[in-house]
Chain A
């Protein structure tokens, strides 16, 4: 039963780090090639995991469990014996997220060709970041989650602060301070949970916390206490997600970080917040979550509209995308808050879909920035004439982002709203305004860049070569695949979500 597949997956980027460590710092091409190849290893493992995953089985699969830390505190009511295991495993949701992580990482590594200096350090940090992301999704206990979560923070900080644009240091600090505070709260919650329950394992915690309130009351876990924990969790993860008004750091990161890192950041790192809300918020405190679901949905709608409105007046395409991320994360919240099969699945689809779409869009931003040195919409009019393929991909990305049917964005948006309309129709109707606004700001930005008269400064541009837009093609293919035949995802997600909902006795 014990397989080391997940450990191999999570730590496989280490191979690349070790190889890079013994390479000279000056060989640009070689370093980039090795960096890219190193991401293929986790990709291969992720695919093996995905293929080997049995969708019909609700249990957590590929479990690895070893005793890790033992200690004793005398005089506690529950005996005071504590054990923390090294605990890895995947369910239907995380196996998808692992694959997404591996794919986006590989493509982001491909997008790293635009990195101009210190390639060795860049790729080592990059691979370290990948370990963190894979670990976050593969871990089955809070301590491991937290450790991997922190592993994602530090490399990201350096990657932004060293390889970003003009205001990179400020963005990096902003990132670190916000996320550091978030993870501090997270750690406090985790420790409290651990001290109260004596376990860090997700399943163990869920079953412990799903006991009747009277039983929990006797263990000094009263109603207010649980609400407090849940709200603390939401704040901590809300920074990551981000929930308005905790979003300002993300704008700076999206504008200042190098495109490859933003691909990762927007594609995967933000999703940790969504995953956390799902896994911890709903998983541990289903009843409490249900009681505050309206407020979460309200926050989701605010996110959706707020981001959309502001994106409408941005002049920098990167900022448009940053606010659009805020807006799209609102859909995740909406879906989660609806707490029914459709909504939850919509939220999870949105996690995957937005990961792919924003990766695509930021890849294109990188591609364009590399050629033109700008991402200001007003400086980029009429790009379709000189770079029709790039412009075409941009249009595809934009259409996907505004939820065009046939692409993944639609499925998630549709299901999230389908879920919300069942629970809170009025709020949902207000939220649909976001669908219109999304179309408005996306078209304004994308058409502003591609259509219209071609700016003179762009006239001598050349269309990128095939290998350069290959990542965009792959992402587009995935987006369309999910959009046309969502069952590829839903089949694997569904049982996990159903199990989650059954665990809390919700109406499916």
Chain B
């Protein structure tokens, strides 16, 4: 048992614990906050996996941006901030059963999966490597992603914007 393993277990525990907390909390805001901890611990895991850049991105986008968006979403739509879970027992059982089955099957496959070798130099100049790859090998997907983001931006605005008539109606 070395330090790395201890760190991993702490992070994993936080991630899973916050996830389960998310499922069991009743207030929506609390749920989102709980998930922030998960995101953060995932960032920590990225660091352990020699992906420092990704860890920062994770913190920026997930723990920061997406969580904020979600909180905005909650605030803009709140009428009651509690999610009363009225899902029927049969369906919960169905979903739970499916998930357990899925988990078991997957678990038995990956339980002792190991490819033996591992990358050793990944943490060296991590950001630079990503940058080089992104602008050389993956330049087309990168550009496409930018288009996607643009479309998402426009789409989000159009969707969230009130209709003209509605606006006119409200203004009266």
Whether A and B touch directly in their complex, counting CB atoms under 8 A apart, is answered as no
